[in-house]
């Protein structure tokens, strides 16, 4: 399947280099979060999902288990499930168990290893279900529904990955998914909700330092894949709640004046300057509905957990 412009390692490296050069040349410096996810980044993210402080995964999975039958009823039978950014695939297994006679499962993942591992896990759990893992970038979705297996599609976008995009980008992404999924589509969206700042900040700055390692892996990856010379001991992980923008921001703070070399260019950092490496926007049910509607979707049903920490929403085209 090539509907996602399946990305080979050389092409991925060239995109990674371009994005880093562009982001480190900007003021303030910023990099797209998708480059966190090489094999080591996916491994570290898996560790994050099991941390005490990281409530989103366990909260979303419990909610998915609880409302699975209602999701199945809202989605209807025979859906082709298309997951965007699958990670471990644990949530896909829960969803597929709940749905009535799913017709096929496809996952689209920027980490080729995760795409394959998820497809293999799902195939082993659901023998007879046509299953495919595709390595590629879901921010470049062709509006080409016939390239997916036939049948009404149910997009699945869990983990609040939508929150990694600013509101205009998130709207474009949801709208592109609507085109990608085609007529009669539905989309099951997992979104993290606004809550106490201390809970949010702890989730992105855990005591064991796994999230710090995940953030710093971006620089380690640049050294590994692009021959950059980041000194990992000269940058520190930071997570801060930005209430005006309703987002957690992850940064890497330069601990001294320094110059880093990458792709034949030099990038100067002053002590204290940061690279903004990720935003995680937090939603309210109303802000999520508004965003979905701006992207041309209709909110069919929305569920939250008992603490109102996380939402699952089913949207229809």
Q: How far is the CB of 247 from ligand SAM (least distance, A)?
A: 14
Q: Please state, in angstroms and rounded to a whole number, the distance separating the CA atoms of residues 290 and 36.
A: 29
Q: How far is the CB of 151 from ligand SAM (least distance, A)?
A: 22
In this structure, is the dihedral angle defined by the CA atoms of residues 59, 280, 162 and 275, taken in order, positive or negative?
A: negative
58 Rama class: left (phi>0) / alpha (psi -120 to 50) / beta = alpha
Q: For the sheet containing 131-135, what is the strand order?
A: 131-135, 104-109, 80-84, 153-157, 186-192, 310-316, 298-304
Q: Which of 30, 79, 80, 87 binds ligand SAM (CB under 6 A)?
A: 87
Q: How far is the CB of 208 from ligand SAM (least distance, A)?
A: 18
Q: How far is the CB of 121 from ligand SAM (least distance, A)?
A: 13
Of 139 and 223, CB closest to ligand SAM? 139
Helix (H/G/I), strand (E/B), else coil: 206: coil
Of 46 and 78, CB closest to ligand SAM? 46
CA dihedral 316, 187, 154, 111 (to 10 degrees): 160
Q: Please state, in angstroms and rounded to a whole number, the distance separating the CA atoms of residues 159 and 162.
A: 8
Of 57 and 254, CB closest to ligand SAM? 57
Q: How far is the CB of 288 from ligand SAM (least distance, A)?
A: 16
The 96-135 contact track toward ligand SAM, x by CB under 6 A, reads: ------------xxxx--x---------------------
Q: Which of 133, 159, 202, 247 binds ligand SAM (CB under 6 A)?
A: 159
Tokens of 82: 């298309």
What residues between 259 and 278 interact with ligand SAM by CB under 6 A? Answer: none
Q: CA 317 from chain center: how many Å?
A: 22
Task: Give me the residues that bind ligand SAM (CB under 6 A), please.
Answer: 34, 37, 42, 45, 49, 57, 85-87, 91, 108-111, 114, 137-139, 158-159, 161
């Amino acid at each position: 399947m090539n509907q996602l412009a399946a990305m080979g390692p050389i092409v991925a490296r060239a995109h990674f280099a371009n994005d880093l050069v562009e982001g480190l040349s900007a003021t303030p410096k910023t990099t797209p979060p998708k480059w966190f996810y090489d094999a080591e980044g996916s491994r570290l993210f898996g560790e994050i999902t099991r941390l005490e402080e990281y409530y989103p995964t366990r909260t979303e999975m419990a909610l998915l288990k609880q409302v699975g039958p209602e999701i199945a009823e809202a989605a209807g039978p025979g859906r082709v499930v298309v997951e965007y950014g699958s990670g471990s695939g644990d949530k896909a297994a829960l969803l597929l168990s709940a749905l009535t006679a799913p017709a096929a499962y496809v996952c689209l993942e920027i980490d080729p290893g995760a795409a394959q591992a998820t497809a293999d896990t799902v195939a082993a759990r659901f023998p007879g279900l046509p299953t495919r893992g595709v390595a590629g970038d879901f921010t470049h979705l062709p509006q080409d529904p016939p390239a997916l297996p036939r049948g009404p599609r149910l997009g699945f976008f869990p983990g609040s990955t939508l929150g990694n995009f600013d509101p205009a980008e998130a709207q474009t992404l949801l709208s592109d998914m609507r085109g990608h999924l085609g007529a009669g589509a539905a989309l099951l969206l997992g979104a993290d909700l606004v809550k106490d700042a201390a809970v949010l900040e702890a989730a992105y700055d855990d005591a064991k330092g796994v999230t710090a390692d995940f953030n710093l892996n971006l620089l380690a990856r640049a050294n590994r894949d692009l021959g950059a010379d980041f000194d990992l001991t000269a940058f520190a992980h930071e997570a801060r709640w930005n209430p005006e923008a309703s987002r957690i921001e992850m940064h890497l703070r330069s601990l001294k004046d320094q110059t880093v070399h990458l792709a034949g260019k030099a990038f100067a950092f002053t002590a204290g300057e940061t690279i903004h490496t990720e935003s995680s926007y937090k939603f309210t049910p109303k802000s999520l509905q508004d965003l979905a509607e701006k992207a041309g979707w209709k909110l069919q049903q929305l569920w939250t957990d008992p603490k109102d920490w996380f939402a699952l929403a089913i949207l229809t085209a």
